[in-house]
Amino acid sequence: MTQGFDTLQVHAGWEADPATGARQVPIYQTTAFKFRDAEHAARLFNLQEVGYIYSRLTNPTVGALAARIAALEGGVGGACVSSGHAAQIMALFPLMAPGRNVVASTRLYGGTVTQLTQTIRRFGWSARFVDIDDEAAIRAAVDDDTRAVFCESISNPGGHVTDLPMVARVARAAHVPLIVDNTSATPYLCRPIEHGATIVVNSTTKYLTGNGTVTGGALTDSGDFDWSAQPGKFPSLSDPEPAYHGLRFHEALGKMALTFHWIAVGLRDLGMTMNPQGAHYTLMGIESLSLRMDKHVRNAVAVARWLEADGRVAGVSYAGLESSPYFARAARLCPKGAGALFTVRLKGGYAACERLVNDLKLFSHVANLGDARSLVIHNASTTHRQLSEAQQEAAGVARDAVRLSIGIEDPKDLIADLDQALT
């Protein structure tokens, strides 16, 4: 029987603790797990049996979270890691090699742009940035060395909604996986796998936890990509793995190949471990995800409409507004709402942005989003400061714009706070 989202967010990934009967997921705050005997240990290390070895690899609390997120995203399996940026590197790790590239949207979070332009160079990888709305440009950017296409479902900070079916079609034709960052939308508003995505990554720091207490990241695998279709293209998954006595992950593990590789190789060697206590915070947050997101969206629509009508505002970039060029696309791909993140351009320019972030009382000036509290930041001088003006413009970041992350407070209070702070 297929269960609804509201049921899965409470129950998926966990039943009562078999040892104690504890109904809630316990915090298994332990580094290691006792083996039954020598044979049991050998089978675990040889990937012949699923179980727990060491919390860098697997942990029951973290595993429950990964399973819950995978169920919500509609994937076959997944893994949880220490941050959203860790999730992005982990997603690319089995796919890439020196000389290989990823084709990425220009409309990405500034930290992701830096990761893809600077950090991955140290691995010998590269990124090619394209207007993700331009199908021809995506096709032209993909070549024989491309190993993935990367985009966000709803972009941070501009609120652009990606045409996922189109991008997935291009990626599929080139036989490369589509990786979608679903942080701004969450699986409640958008399920990228249903639109053709191969891998979904999330920063659990944001809406999934929902209270600004812990960092974390998650990866979910659709399980429907044929890693062996083109010999030599994805050797980490199709070819013999020396560390596991020649095991071919895809041949041996089928739809679960990528999930097991993330754990058995990625977490083993990169060590991007999520803390069990942090996983517990996120599990608690997810139980109310649908309730919170409904409120986030209602508030965002109310605040965005008020701002759009205010004479001190030059424009609002929010796909939940009828005036947005992405309104119809958002209604099709995110039928429950276009999220609660958007940018506001002020007629007073850069100086007005500075005054706004200084004078707001309810909105917190922080480098985060997806909190129950409403948040504000001037991206051009902070999160996207390391980008060139051209990169900022491509990402939807303007010097005269602030990013708002709308929380779950009374919308009248949020509007009153904005009203007193705007100049």
pLDDT at 272: 96
Per-residue pLDDT, 386: 67
Angle between helices 60-73 and 276-286 (to 10 degrees): 40
Same fold, 5-284 and 289-421: no
* Cα–chain center distance at 45: 30
Fold of 289-421: Aspartate Aminotransferase, domain 1 (3.90.1150)
Question: What 3-state DSSP class applies to 26?
Answer: coil
- What is the distance in angstroms between the CA of the first residue and the CA of the last residue of the chain? 55
Name the CATH code of domain 5-284 (choices 3.40.640.10, 3.90.550.10, 3.40.50.720, 2.60.40.10).
3.40.640.10
In angstroms, the CA 296 to CA 299 distance is: 5
pLDDT value of residue 384:
62
Going from the C-alpha of 342 to that of each of 43, 79, 383, the distances in angstroms are 50, 29, 14
CB 121 within 8 A of CB 178: no
- Count Cβ atoms below 10 Å from residue 183 Cβ, excluding itself: 28
- Sequence spans of domains, the chain: 5-284, 289-421
CA distance linking residue 230 with residue 234, whole number of Å: 8
Q: What is the pLDDT of residues 205-262, one digit of tens each?
A: 999 999 999 999 999 999 999 999 999 999 999 999 999 999 999 999 999 999 999 9
Instruction: Confirm if 84 and 203 have CB atoms less than 8 A apart.
Output: yes
Global pTM reads: 0.95
Predicted confidence (pLDDT) per residue in 407-422, tens digit: 999 999 999 999 999 9
pLDDT of residue 183: 98
Q: Residue 380: what pLDDT? A: 78
The segments of the chain whose pLDDT lies below 70 read 383-387, 392-397
Whose CA is closest to 280, among 77, 13, 4, 74? 13
